[in-house]
Amino acid sequence: MDEIDYSQYIPEDLLEEIEEYEREIRKGRREKKNYPSSRDIVLAVKEAALKARGLHPDDFPRLVLEILEEKGFDTSFVTIKRIWRVYEKLVRNGVIPDTLGVVVY
């Protein structure tokens, strides 16, 4: 199919404005952040556990979220409960030590 030359029908300044708008829309879609997968959360919890020496347990989820955000993830749907569930599972499976001292055996 042949491409239509709209410059005959639309004023040039309006055509340029429309093309600029379309470029901005395409650009905005590429900048959308992805949500972290379960594996990404596990890796972030492991990394945070290594950095958590002397950290209060209340600050641990914030550290995990910061690590995920630094990696470019959208953390709006990552809950504190999920972070603690992953942390507890990793400690109970012996993957990481209980550096925060919060898991009861």
Query: Is the model more confident about 28 or about 50?
Result: 50
* SS3 label, residue 73: strand
Where do the structural domains in the chain lie, given as residue ranges? Answer: 38-92
Give bridge partners of residue 73 from the DSSP assignment: 34
Q: What is the dihedral sign for C-alpha 64, 69, 71, 76?
A: positive
40-91 pLDDT, tens digit per residue, is 999 999 999 999 888 999 999 999 999 999 999 999 999 999 999 999 999 9
Is the pTM here over 0.85, yes or no?
no
